[in-house]
Structure 1
Amino acid sequence: MPRASIQTARPALRRLPTRPSRVVQAVLQQLLPLVFLGQRLQLQNSTAAQRLVAEFLAQQNGERNLLIAFRHPSPRDPLVLADLFWSCVPRMAGRLGHPLPRRVSLRFLYDRGIPLWAGPVIGWLLQRSGGIAIHRGRLDRPALNQAREALAQGRQALVVAPEGATNNLSGEMAPLEPGVAQLAFWAAEDMARNQDPRSLHVIPVGIRYSWRRPNWTVLDARLQALEQHLGVQAVVPEDRRERLLCIGAALITALEQLERLKANPEQPLADRIENYRLHGLQKAESHFGLRASGTLQERCRRIEQAAWDRIYRENLEQLPPLERSLVDWEAREADLQLTRMRLVEHFTSVSGHYITDQPEFDRFAEMVQLVEEAIGWIEDRPWSGSPCFGPQRVELSVGEAIPVDQRRDDYRRDRRRAVQTLMSELDAELERLMRSTGTTPEIGEPP
């Protein structure tokens, strides 16, 4: 993600309406295979498509409403899921002799900030693909009400990412946000009030990326490039984990110096990273007068929203010159705090345990990419990341459906507990999918 450079306050962010276009979706559907070819990405989704056929048949026949909750390890996930829903599921339905009555239609939640860094073209495409823009750092009632209405009406499946944002790790989940379960119960209550007999299912979808041909020579070259860039000397060249930890230590030392934190080289790297995270968050929260509570993701979203409130302003043209200059000053300071928060976000997934638990190529490669991305963010220029790790595959899997309408009585008795129970089941199922992906051969492939 490129770093913005804000010099002046900007007009207030307007709501981005949902304007689905079948023409745009049809064009994207045709272009996606070319995109995957250019990215050297091989999709393995036949098993997932087969499991989804029955759910979409029931939804289109007026028997069921669907909330699809997917793992979100990569920015490429929306493209992968679009191909699954728009192309693979209908094609699999035809192969199974149960063609879908109509095209798959979706609504999905996406962060209102994406068009700010990805550009207006991406924002336009998200709107035309059925996206509902939501401000993640505050209670965005209009967006939540739109998503709730779409889920209760059931004409389109609603697609959400319970993790809220990418963590760039296929083998480790970020904490899930409980808003997904709350949204499902709201819709179930609306359906009950309207005497709607349909069921409501939450469908867990797992996504896992891996390199098709692990190349340890390339990994060593990438490690060596990082070591040279940071001035790190590899003590034991054969110990890749130790080399990666030394790289991480050099990087966190530089950040500690930037923040004037007292460095302790004897302290475990994980503890130093955690201290840096907390310091960065507390500094930004203090600047904006925010209360330090909730998960790391929730705190980051509040900081982001507070920065936006100072950067994107109402009635800028009506301010007198001095007040306008002060508003511009405040916007620049807010952007600096937002940059600090982004640095913290880049370190949310950097740790030694990820490669210690399973010292496999994919995990090493993901951690190297995270470190490269962090350096690129600090230096405000993309890291080359060469030589390339090679082509990748993405495996999609579908878990057991979690019925929501059957839990309405539990929700009415104890809302908090019902939401927690549903989120626990969803978390467990997504975790199971994450652990089991890669063990089941594709349809038509040898075991």
Structure 2
Amino acid sequence: MPRAFTQNARPALRRLPTRPSRMVQAMVSRLLPLLFRSQGLELSHRDAADGLAKAFAAQQSGRCNLLIAFRHPSTRDPVVLADLFWNRVPRAARRLNLPLARPIQLRFLYDRGIPIWAGPVIGWLLQRSGGIAIHRGRLDRPALSQARAALAQGRYPLVVAPEGATNNLSGEMAPLEPGVAQLAFWAAEDLEKAGDERQLEVLPVGIHYSWRKHNWGVLDVRLKALERHLGIASATGSSGTPETDRRDRLIQIGMNLLSALEQLERLKPNQEQTFSERIEAYRLQGLAKAEAHFGLRAVGNLQERCRRIEQAAWDRIYREGVDQIPPLERSLADWEAREADLQLTRMRLVEHFTSVSGHYISDRPDFDRFAEMLLLVEEAIGWIEDKPWRGQPSLGAQRVELRLGQALPVRPRLSQYRSNRREAMQLFMQDLEQVLVAVMPEAPL
């Protein structure tokens, strides 16, 4: 995600209420095709629109409640899904002669930090499109209660991203966070307590981006620009084939970037370690330094640790009554805010490489994976240098493919949840991960 620089302490973040507006939704739904046309983005929904039309018809007729869990590889996902739900699904419903009693409206969870880096206009649109803002780094009871109530009441499908954040890789999924399973089981319990016999289903939606034209020449130009910037002698033609040549060049660029990250963290590289081992050591070192700054314990998985660091940074940047404190105290608060922003950026760099293992291109050396890794490297360099990397020339227009996975019923799992909650949630997340992997284009349907 883009970086929002902090120079001073700011007033405390206020809760953003959900203020859905059909007029705003109608306006946005009309503008989306124009936006995609201007960007050259081609949408392919295969059978997803038809399957969702049937699911929404069942939901609106009171036969089931829906929780939609989508893959989250890009910051474009919200507008892509909005077009799917608001434009493609209603057209599919009409074509299939399915009764939709009312326009499709949704409730969805989004990170409270998005309006900080994306701007107040985006925050305003998220509120009026049915968004529920949630602080990811703490137990945000009001947001969770609102999402739970929406899912149990069933009038509006609830949409969540189980990965929690974008990983910028369409062909590899980040570890799933357990919040989606917890919300599903909470809502299923609420339905049962109320004597409500409606089914509760989790619908997985896969999202995959690719380039419409595989312009290897452009990719080579941008590889060359990175090599010049990093002071690397180009190894063009040294490996025998264009495929292995580009792979070796990108690996060399990645190793140089990793060396810079290790230097940033004062981490002495171990040349006997593999790339995967070194990137993991960097991740752990970066998180440990940020946690030490904020006095946090190093517990949980990488995502949980990132969320706690994010919240600790926000607590020092956004403060109650900051405009009423004495000048010296205000100066100290500004100092703490700047230091917190630095630690937040350290965490963002670690998070940026959450899914980088060193095998992404070797496992499938196609243009799309090369291009995605190239963009990851360029963005990381831009963050380190405090200025966006302007990669030129353009890699070209993209296509996005949406697929609908097999629905996961929740209520049949309730007895297992009551006997062993942790095990039931783990099994549910494993099943959800399998279905999301199955709808990736590399996997056969």
Shorter-chain TM-score tier: over 0.9
Percent identity for Structure 1 against Structure 2: 71
332, 337, 341: which one aligns with 1:335: 341
Q: Tell me the distance in 2 between the aligned counterparts of 1:274 and 1:187.
A: 37
Q: Tell me the distance in 2 between the aligned counterparts of 1:415 and 1:349.
A: 28
SS of the residue 2:440 aligns to = helix
- Aligned: 1:305 with 2:337: no
Q: Tell me the distance in 1 between the aligned counterparts of 2:191 and 2:287.
A: 41
- Aligned: 1:271 with 2:271: no
Q: Tell me the distance in 2 between the aligned counterparts of 1:367 and 1:202.
A: 31
Q: Tell me the distance in 1 between the aligned counterparts of 2:285 and 2:106.
A: 40
Aligned pair count reads 439
Q: Which residue of 2 aligns with 1:402?
A: 408
Q: Tell me the distance in 1 between the aligned counterparts of 2:385 and 2:107.
A: 37
| Residues 379-432 of structure 1: per-residue CA shift (max 9 Å, x gap) | 222222222222211110001111011222221122111111111110110011
- Aligned: 1:57 with 2:63: no
1:291-440 to 2 correspondences below 5 Å: 291-436=297-442
Moved over 4 A (4+): none
Q: Which residue of 2 aligns with 1:73?
A: 73
Q: Structure 1: which amino acid aligns with 2:394?
A: C
Shift of 1:156: 0.3
| Residues 196-235 of structure 1: per-residue CA shift (max 9 Å, x gap) | 1111000000011111221211111111111111111123
CA contact (8 A) 2:208 2:441 kept: no
Mean CA deviation greater in 81-90 or 350-359: 350-359
Q: Tell me the distance in 1 between the aligned counterparts of 2:60 and 2:119.
A: 34
Q: Tell me the distance in 2 between the aligned counterparts of 1:108 and 1:192.
A: 23
CA RMSD of aligned residues (A): 1.4
Q: Tell me the distance in 1 between the aligned counterparts of 2:430 and 2:90.
A: 31
Q: Structure 1: which amino acid aligns with 2:309?
A: I
Could you say if the C-alpha distance between residues 411 and 266 of structure 1 is closer, same or farther in structure 2, counting changes exceeding 3 Å? closer
Mean CA deviation greater in 64-73 or 97-106: 97-106
Question: Where in structure 2 are there 5+ consecutive unaligned residues?
Answer: none
Q: Which residue of 2 aligns with 1:287?
A: 293
TM-score, with length taken from structure 1: 0.95
Shift of 1:46: 4.0
Q: Structure 1: which amino acid aligns with 2:293?
A: H
Shift of 1:320: 2.6
Shift of 1:266: 5.0
SS of the residue 2:146 aligns to = helix
Q: Tell me the distance in 2 between the aligned counterparts of 1:34 and 1:336.
A: 38
Q: Tell me the distance in 2 between the aligned counterparts of 1:57 and 1:362.
A: 36
- Aligned: 1:24 with 2:8: no
| Residues 14-67 of structure 1: per-residue CA shift (max 9 Å, x gap) | 000000000100000000001111221100014100111111111000111000
Q: Which residue of 2 aligns with 1:145?
A: 145
CA contact (8 A) 1:10 1:312 kept: yes
Question: Where in structure 1 are there 5+ consecutive unaligned residues?
Answer: 441-447
| Residues 132-152 of structure 1: per-residue CA shift (max 9 Å, x gap) | 000001100000000000000
Q: Structure 1: which amino acid aligns with 2:342?
A: L
CA contact (8 A) 2:204 2:404 kept: yes
CA contact (8 A) 1:223 1:244 kept: yes
TM-score, with length taken from structure 2: 0.96
Q: Tell me the distance in 1 between the aligned counterparts of 2:272 and 2:393.
A: 33
CA contact (8 A) 2:152 2:191 kept: yes
| Residues 143-185 of structure 1: per-residue CA shift (max 9 Å, x gap) | 0000000000000000000000000001000000111001001
Q: Tell me the distance in 1 between the aligned counterparts of 2:424 and 2:357.
A: 33
CA contact (8 A) 1:211 1:392 kept: yes
1:250-261 to 2 correspondences below 5 Å: 250-261=256-267
Q: Tell me the distance in 1 between the aligned counterparts of 2:420 and 2:381.
A: 47
CA contact (8 A) 1:2 1:380 kept: no
Q: Which residue of 2 aligns with 1:445?
A: none
CA contact (8 A) 1:90 1:99 kept: no
CA contact (8 A) 1:350 1:370 kept: no
Could you say if the C-alpha distance between residues 430 and 88 of structure 1 is closer, same or farther in structure 2, counting changes exceeding 3 Å? same
Shift of 1:350: 3.3
CA contact (8 A) 2:42 2:398 kept: yes
